[in-house]
Chain A
């Protein structure tokens, strides 16, 4: 058949119309054949893959466990695993694919704030649901995201007063990577430091991924501070701790107190460089509970690595699947709206302790803990809250438990 212009236009029109209509004809019902699809969206390639792959693994592990127990309301969970490729744009595309084409009622995913911000519009526009496991900077309020990691008040509200009282430190040097998370964390730090009668001598930032710490550590040395508060993220953590020791500083006299440095970074830098420093997180691998020991055991078996480490974002990636399962059981139907209503107030006994989803802001009650790192790469818990603490994503802007900025109705912007 020769292609004439008229033919071409006609065919294009038909194909075009077909393409437009197609998605609506081939939609699978969300819960057909006794299965329910969910999206699992983490970076399996690229710079963040080292951490995010472990989150993807543990999410699949939780799903397998639930399936082995008989699924949710008799339905098997079918994970659709996608690769965000450490790139926000890919994250956005993959989220759209999961929500629009696969019609999943929920996606579990992402590690960085950049990727969360990239997928957020998709979930808000399509009224879908996203479970985000990472500790983050707060300052966000969405009906379409369930946050199961810590927000600044859950990492710092006990940390700063503890440093001042128990370590007797008065002069803070705040250091971080140059983007939104460390800067927001620094804001909260400064408020808490001043409230507790101490002072901060400087806050300095280094590009994300930058690994030349010579000049910065020199500055820390010269600043006269007696404690370093680190919000440094990613690769730079390793270079920072190594340089710190190489320049002759000592965690005994000038400890680094960190909000990001977890088991995984400690393993990468070599435990001897972090021995004696502190980190604040709701979860540590060293938490001594039978549930946690069993969890570590199962995870190591699942990834076939007897030395694999667990960390905070990994634990929340795990228990959020269970929160979702309970929400679905309560809701009875696998639609994003029903699951969201179901997840409010859900409680679960996670490996690290009791967790509960706040009914107002969809963040999670978590127990702040402080650990001191030992020469074996494990933290010794030196302080812990007696019970889970309420999540306040806007604490840096004056949010208190009696005066919530983020509620079930949405964000009250007049208070900002």
Chain B
């Protein structure tokens, strides 16, 4: 049973890893960022590239991926999203377009060469991210098999949640973000530089996606399409948890992960996903604003 709960927990932490960045961009800025999955993919490619070119460990690639994805996020915000605040459906379309652009760019660039430089070991579009050896050798602790890689993902996710919580609730930046979340006009009237704070928030959310990408690369194929499927799950968590609620996102990710893991262990994976989606539909009908939402006036 402990094994099953552990799998659920690790599923939940992966969901949370993806949803955390989305929660910030969607919650704080009302941007449905369809390119989030592509930022995850960029993170994974950054890690692959770090390994190939600089012989860097996956762990060192995490901050690099954060910076690269964050910078790309900032660029996207500056070029496109900045002009679309308050137009939620337009941001959906625009970021969907950006997602396709990024995907195709990666496909063209990572074919066999990178910027026309032939990189030895760069395969035909499918890359693998080498995981440090000690991260995929399980060991026993009191009869319970510890899986280092999954444990590592859980630990990293907890750290990211803690950092995000601290940023949002214990810093000046966080107060400004929360003020913008509630009422951007009022925040602007109070002297908050809404544009600047929004751009930084978006970059931070994108950076989180990059970190998620490095971790996803550890057990998935790194390919141009890897991000697409993840976004749906991410939004699922954000919507169930309540838009912009950190606590809600954590609870929803953990709950959905456990449900998925337990049902998959008892029956099968296909049914588990159906059950999970069914539950999400029921939950949204019961609480349209999500589990933990702001009181609206």
Contacts and interface: CB of A to CB of B under 8 A. Distances in A.
Contact of B123 (A209, A212, A215, A268): A268
Interface in A319-367: none
Nearest to A212: B11
A178 B268 CA distance: 11
B10 interface: yes
Contact of A215 (B118, B120, B121, B264): B264
A269 B128 contact: yes
Interface string A282-305: 000000000000000000000111
B265 A215 contact: yes
Nearest to B233: A212
B229 interface: yes
29 contacts: A47-B223, A47-B225, A53-B125, A178-B270, A205-B268, A206-B268, A212-B269, A214-B7, A214-B11, A215-B7, A215-B261, A215-B265, A215-B272, A216-B269, A218-B3, A235-B223, A238-B219, A238-B221, A242-B136, A246-B136, A247-B138, A247-B145, A248-B145, A264-B124, A268-B126, A270-B130, A306-B120, A307-B123, A308-B123
Most buried by B among A49, A178, A308: A49
A204 interface: yes
Interface of A: 45-47, 49-50, 53-54, 178, 204-207, 209-216, 218-219, 235, 238-239, 242-243, 245-248, 264, 267-270, 303-309
Interface of B: 3-4, 7, 10-11, 14, 107, 112, 118, 120-121, 123-128, 130-131, 136-138, 145, 147-150, 218-221, 223, 225, 229, 260-261, 264-265, 268-270, 272-273
A211 B219 contact: yes
A53 B268 contact: no
A49 B220 contact: no
B119 to A, nearest CB: 10
Contact of B7 (A211, A218, A245, A307): A218
Given A215-B269, A269-B221, A245 B136 contact: yes
Most buried by B among A206, A238, A304, A306: A238
B265 A218 contact: yes
A235 B121 contact: no
Contacts of B148: 246
Given A205-B268, A305-B112, A246 B149 contact: yes
Nearest to A210: B269
Contacts of B138: 246-248
A239 B268 contact: no
B150 A246 contact: yes
Contact of A204 (B3, B149, B225, B268): B268
Contacts of A207: 269-270, 273
A183 to B, nearest CB: 13
B120 A307 contact: yes
A183 B124 CA distance: 29
B4 A307 contact: no
A191 B219 CA distance: 33
Nearest to B150: A246
Contacts of A248: 137-138, 145, 147
Nearest to A207: B270
Given A242-B131, A308-B123, 10 more contacts: A50-B126, A53-B124, A206-B269, A207-B270, A212-B11, A215-B272, A218-B265, A304-B112, A307-B123, A308-B124
A54 B221 contact: no
Most buried by B among A178, A213, A242, A308: A242
Contacts of A213: 219
B219 A243 contact: yes
A245 B11 CA distance: 18
B139 to A, nearest CB: 8
A47 B126 CA distance: 11
Contacts of A214: 7, 10-11, 150, 261, 264
Contact of A247 (B128, B147, B264): B147
B66 to A, nearest CB: 23
Contacts of A306: 120
Contacts of B130: 270
Most buried by B among A245, A304, A307: A307
Q: Lowest 9 CB-CB distances: which A-B pairs, in order?
A: A215-B264, A248-B138, A214-B7, A268-B126, A50-B125, A238-B221, A270-B128, A242-B219, A215-B265
